Amino acid sequence: MIIGLVLSPGFQAVCFGAVAAFDVANKQAGEKIYDVRAFSEDGGLVTSSAGMQVMTEPFDRASVDTLIVAAGLEVPTSSPGLIRLLRAAARDARRVASICLGSFVLGDAGLLNGRRATTHWRYAQELQTRFPSCEVDADKIFIADGEVWTSAGMSAGTDMVVGMIERDLGPEIARSVARGMVMYHRRSGGQSQHSALLDLETSEDRVQKALSYARQNLRESLTIDDLARAACLSPRQFTRLFRSATGTTPAKAVESLRLESAKLMLEQTRLPIEAVARETGFANRERMRQAFVRVHGEAPRAIRKEAGPLATL
């Protein structure tokens, strides 16, 4: 299968980390299944945002299985020629994809019309405004809608490619690729772009210490006294400092951490829902269900079903 990585001037070199997963898949499979090639509108050298130059083939000669459009740090400007070539190539390709802001190029080519897509959360509203017939989901790592795949940030491009490998070669090879690339964990397409710990980030060391303690001990009750003890403060001092530093209460913060961990388990494991509730500190599955419905608008079972086969990795 030929994988065509479409480059334009100013692209981010980190996109090569995503397509490197195809090379690892070849090694794990013991044969060259994927042939990754770099293309551009006219061929020749294309310069990245960091100044690195890459030799590319002319796009009009491309006959590929999978097209992946790379992008830079800004919303790209799609030339008429690139759009024409992308539309023509997409008619024959088995799937087309974008990494991060490359979604805007797919949109310019009309390939997102009537589809679900994602992009970097900072630019999701702009993507929705420019392409109103596309349903933009700003809270997904990647989305596969039929033959059109889109990823969020640059690192999410690697998760998307591993998802493609799973679709092509099965979960065992995909799992081996993720391990071979020393990925911290195999993120499913349904996972949020945001981290609860990052959303609660503060420069107050004592609050961070309490949050880290909570994250590592979700199975415990995690009372105010427990968290205050971890922060080396009295419960009254801790509660006041926590709200001042994060804008929320310790109880709500702990619930956010529990929900994030539970959602990850639902998407990436086949643990029974009761076990997920127990491992993440909810008293029982019903209490966890109520929290999911209140925060996510969906029950745990629906979230697991939405993750589909990618949840098994």
CATH number of the domain to which 292 belongs: 1.10.10.60
Domain-embedded: residue 188: no
Structure tokens at 186: 């195999």
Query: What's the CATH number where 150 sits?
Result: 3.40.50.880
Structure tokens at 142: 């990647």
232 as an active site residue: the answer is no
- 264-273, pLDDT tens digit by residue? 888 767 789 9
CB atoms within 10 A of CB 125: 12
Q: Which of 66, 61, 79 is nearest to 8 (CA)?
A: 79
Per-residue pLDDT, 196? 60
Pair 20, 164 in one domain:
yes
Number of domains observed in the structure of the chain: 2
Kindly report which listed range (87-91, 182-186, 214-218, 259-263) carries the lowest average pLDDT score. 182-186
Per-residue pLDDT, 206? 92
The pLDDT-based confidence of 61 (bands split at 50, 70, 90) is: low
Pair 170, 62 in one domain:
yes
Tell me if 313 sits within 8 A of 178, measured CB to CB. yes
Pair 262, 123 in one domain:
no
| Half-sphere exposure at residue 149, Cβ-oriented, CA atoms within 13 angstroms | 27
Pair 161, 228 in one domain:
no
The pLDDT-based confidence of 63 (bands split at 50, 70, 90) is: confident
Kindly report which listed range (179-188, 207-216, 232-241, 267-276) carries the lowest average pLDDT score. 179-188
Average pLDDT over the chain reads 88
Per-residue b or e along 169-195, where b marks 16 or more CB atoms closer than 10 Å to that residue's CB: beeebbbbbbeebeeeebbbbbbbbee
Domain-embedded: residue 189: no
Domain end residue (candidates: 136, 153, 180): 180
Pair 26, 99 in one domain:
yes
| Half-sphere exposure at residue 284, Cβ-oriented, CA atoms within 13 angstroms | 1
Domain-embedded: residue 91: yes
Pair 245, 156 in one domain:
no
Tell me how far CA of residue 243 lies from CA of 230, 236, 246, 265, in angstroms. 16, 11, 5, 29
Residue 122 per-residue DSSP state: G
Domain end residue (candidates: 150, 180, 210): 180
Domain-embedded: residue 294: yes
Tell me if 15 sits within 8 A of 52, measured CB to CB. no
Pair 234, 302 in one domain:
yes
Pair 117, 249 in one domain:
no
User: What is the domain range of residue 15?
Assistant: 2-180
Q: Which of 164, 153, 4 is nearest to 68 (CA)?
A: 4
Q: Looking at the predicted structure, is the pLDDT value of residue 161 above 90?
A: yes
The pLDDT-based confidence of 46 (bands split at 50, 70, 90) is: very high
Q: Which of 157, 26, 27 is nearest to 98 (CA)?
A: 157
Pair 176, 207 in one domain:
no
- Catalytic one among 15, 100, 134, 232? 100
Domain-embedded: residue 222: yes
Pair 62, 203 in one domain:
no
Structure tokens at 66: 């999978």
Pair 149, 210 in one domain:
no
Query: What percentage of the chain has pLDDT greater than the value 70?
Result: 91
Kindly report which listed range (24-33, 150-159, 237-246) carries the lowest average pLDDT score. 150-159
Pair 247, 125 in one domain:
no
Structure tokens at 151: 């990823």
- 72-89, pLDDT tens digit by residue? 989 998 999 999 988 988
Tell me if 3 sits within 8 A of 58, measured CB to CB. no
Q: Could you tell me the pTM of the whole model?
A: 0.67
